[in-house]
A and B are shown apart, each in its own frame.
Chain A
Amino acid sequence: MITYKDLIFEISRPGRIGCSLPESDVEAVDLSKKLPAHLIRDEAPELPEVSELQLVRHYTALSNKNHGVDNGFYPLGSCTMKYNPKINEDVARLDGFSRIHPYQPEATVQGALQLLHELQEDLAVITGMDAVTLQPSAGAQGEWTGLMMVKAYHEQKGEKRRKVLVPDSAHGTNPASATVAGFRTVTIPSNENGLVDVEELKKHVDDDTAALMLTNPNTLGLFEKDIVEIAKVIHEAGGLLYYDGANANAILGKTTPGKMGFDIVHLNLHKTFTTPHGGGGPGAGPVGVNKKLIPFLPVPRIEKKNDLFVLNVNEPLSIGRVKGYYGNFGILVRAYTYIRTMGPSGLRQVSESAVLHANYLRKKLEPYFLSPYEQVSKHEFVLSGSKQKKLGVRTLDMAKRLLDFGYHPPTIYFPLNVEECLMIEPTETETKETLDAFADVMIQIAQEVEENPDIVLNAPHTTVIGRLDEVKAARQPMVRYEKETVQT
């Protein structure tokens, strides 16, 4: 199957079908009598025509050309590629969750609303916040939602603050979300220890500062030890502190963004709370806030009134709706199931184990790769491929070589402030044996760079396809199948 190369359109034959639909039991409608001619489709869309087995073989063949967490180790930094529990999938597919309509009367969806309400409460505890909205569909949407609340908060006080501070190690979504929310981004450089430079920060904080966005531990996997002082600096200037929860897998039950002094938090349920990444989504990015921001939370809000769960849409200071209905409900069901599986001590052990694994793997690799920072790591760590670069082999090449051993490579070339960066997040769900085996392969690759660099430079050797020409893809974009241009 691995040699299968066809597009679904190329195996299509007129007259085949992959579904069975009932015949109409009502009167036929003559479209030409109902609609003006120019609104009736005159050319059918070229959807594939295949039998059900052809369909199944096609998508099965495609799945065989894909690597997921279930296939093997996936230490993609800042993405928290941990195990996606199977019971979560089964629960989300229960008819009582998957066959209910968002506009059904509240009385007929009390189980769903109760689940959402409990999840809001749990996430508030986990983050140390006072209230949570479950609506945002992803981390980036959570960031934007949070920043729109920041904006509303300052405007309510009669202030129009325009500046959002973002460290240079931040995820790209941070500055992008700030722009979409109508703010101007100011980048704060990290110091030589990989942490926010507090003195540098102070220079940029003023009465135009709306918020500082911070990931803690940051994307280098380091805990921002000066967080208490940073919070003080921002708050004294009247700004707010935003917590990017992409790295929350390091802190469950150990500390909370609330304790650190943050005012707003988003979590990525598809990272910390085991909901699957789905090849890019759907995820969920709930946002927690402390008391002073509660009036600005999006609507609808899920509340409990006299033993009934209700949807409240009447909040005059709310920023409004941010997402259709009540968020990515099916994802929220999965995260709830996970939290009930783990309980308080389980979640704490998740972070303890995630941090132990990162430090263990880091120390195993440090003799072979440049490790730029001394501070103990949290759930992930960075290495630099700068030693190898001097020998003519880049981090990209080493990443491709890892594919030959069945591993998904770490995140590469991010954060931007580390040369030839490799960002490794092993997660708590991997065994020590897996960490040891991965370390052995990394060490082997480091040796190959010295002794036989070509094997690394020409990697991968065992994948279904070789290195792809990304420049060509961008210069001559071919972003859909067209019959005329088909090549074999």
Chain B
Amino acid sequence: MTSTFRYLPDTKEDQKEMLSFLNMSSIDELFSDVPESIRLDVELAIPEAKPEPVLWKHMQRLAGQNVTANELPMFLGAGTYDHYIPSVVNHMISRSEFYTAYTPYQPEISQGELQAIFEFQTMVCELTGMDVANSSMYDGFTALAEAASLAVAHTKRSKVIVSKAVHPESRAILNTVAAGPDYGVEEVALSADVTDLKALKQQIDSETAAVIVQYPNFFGSIEDLKEIDAIVKEKGALFVVSANPMSLGLLQPPGKLGADIVVGDMQPLGIPIAFGGPSCGYFAVAKKLMRKVPGRIVGQTTDDKGNRGFVLTLQAREQHIRRDKATSNICSNQALNALASAVCMTALGKTGLRKMALLNLEKADYTAKVFKEKGFSVLNKSPFFNEFVVELPCAVTDIEEKLIEKGFIGGFDLGADYGEPNQMLIAVTEQRTKDEIDQFIDVMEAATK
């Protein structure tokens, strides 16, 4: 052991001094408690160390083998969206006082993180219209599954009902999670592009812990939460809504339409698409569920001199206190990305968020209109936010490569998840210009002929 590695400061002399202080003659003595039969006698069979300049080139080469949204205009969304991220976001989360800190267990030297999360919680409450939000979840998908588990535990009922218009990965993860405590997951069919409310009325019963819908749903359509809430409340179930936070700049917040739990992913607000992670789930509830919330919550209090300060609070819910009786096993969350989205929401502000959301809606509206003019059918019957479904005369897989060749990343293929190989889910964010949209539709037209 010498200082040949820049992250390892021990010199030979340091090592010798420390060993001699321990009355040891070699490092091996420190591992004398590891039975010989299980010791490794050869080095790990992984590639050799690379000096920093060589490594940098290697990483750039790997990165260079991917086609990025900078190179090709992207019309792909389906849960992860190419939105502009203000420069300040990366600068603020790159303050190493934030990113090299642990969970703020020592509040006196973690006030920065704690206050930032307190502000994040407030912003999530504002967006969703809910009373209480936690400090983040892994992502929107797992947050949805946690909401279902919370509902089952809270109502002591045996199943949840989830709309087929909820993201397929959310439903897949929900099914994996439900197999633990072994509660039922029933799916409600679609009526065109939204949840079939007649079917929901037939399926919901006194064993239904929660009804889960997405807003806007996976096809971009805006579900009528008010109507759904009436059906849910009649049976005493909890109403869980997974909402795109950017859309809430324009849409009535779920909290005002009866939702008991609102979850979702903050990715559209300040988090890079980054091959799908890390993003940041959010979890917001009505006050009555505050003590059932999974994960960390920051609360305001005072110090011994009466000054305002912030601490992790309501910890009696959590695994490090309650162990097997905890409301969830979550420990690490996505705090740095919660910070990123708080910075982004601060940059956008009250007016910027609305403006950005409206840009999305208008561009998607325009794109759908031109698609229709060119003879494509747009399948959404309900109003949509920044995403919609187009029916092609051929399979989406047939044109995928052509689109790339012509310089576009096309939409999401609904073949695998919905058995509709000719349907493409197209997302249009504020990043797409009218020129890009027009060219994309021309290319789509040519490719599908």
Contact = CB atoms under 8 A, between A and B. Distances in A.
A55 B44 contact: no
A339 interface: yes
Contacts of A87: 52, 55-56
B442 to A, nearest CB: 16
A202 interface: no
Contact of B132 (A16, A36, A479): A479
A39 B224 contact: yes
A97 B356 contact: no
A281 B334 contact: yes
A474 B313 contact: yes
Contacts of A387: none
A227 to B, nearest CB: 7
B275 A17 contact: no
B257, B353, B383: most-surrounded residue (chain A CB, <10 A): B383
A185 B329 CA distance: 13
B189 interface: no
A174 B333 CA distance: 16
A111 B40 contact: no
B56 to A, nearest CB: 7
B350 A44 contact: yes
Contacts of A156: none
Interface stretch (A4-12, A287-295, A447-455): A4-12
A47 interface: yes
Contacts of B142: 137, 141, 323-324
A248 interface: no
B25 interface: no
Contact of A179 (B31, B47, B226, B325): B325
Interface stretch (A71-79, A203-211, A232-240): A71-79
A247 B154 CA distance: 35
Contacts of A17: 348-349, 351-352
B366 to A, nearest CB: 4
A473 B336 contact: no
A180 interface: yes
Contacts of B58: 340
A392 interface: no
A48, A97, A463: most-surrounded residue (chain B CB, <10 A): A48
A52 B8 CA distance: 39
Contact of A94 (B59, B105, B113): B59
A95, A109, A251, A270: most-surrounded residue (chain B CB, <10 A): A95
A151, A252, A340: most-surrounded residue (chain B CB, <10 A): A340
Contacts of B7: 82-83, 85, 274, 341-342, 350, 428-429
Nearest to B337: A282
A138 B273 CA distance: 19
A100 B336 contact: no
Contacts of A477: 290, 297, 299, 313-314
A34 interface: yes
A176 B322 contact: yes
B17 A66 contact: no
B354 A474 contact: no
B355 interface: yes
Given A26-B362, A99-B69, A344-B45, A63 B298 contact: no
B251 A279 contact: no
Interface string B125-165: 11100011101101111100000010000000000000000
Contacts of B59: 91, 94, 337
A330 B274 contact: yes
A88 to B, nearest CB: 10
B70 interface: yes
Contacts of A94: 59-60, 63
Interface string A88-110: 01111111111111111101111
B373 interface: no
A26 B92 CA distance: 33
A349 B31 contact: no
B116 A62 contact: yes
B181 A97 contact: no
A227 B38 contact: yes
Nearest to B1: A349
B346 A50 contact: yes
A36 B176 contact: no
6 contacts: A34-B365, A62-B112, A87-B52, A319-B179, A326-B275, A468-B309
Q: What are the nearest 5 A-B pairs in CB distance?
A: A96-B63, A325-B276, A343-B49, A111-B65, A278-B336
Given A324-B173, A343-B49, A352-B30, 18 more contacts: A17-B351, A17-B352, A38-B257, A101-B69, A126-B46, A137-B278, A144-B180, A178-B324, A259-B39, A279-B102, A280-B113, A319-B176, A330-B277, A359-B18, A428-B10, A466-B305, A468-B301, A474-B314
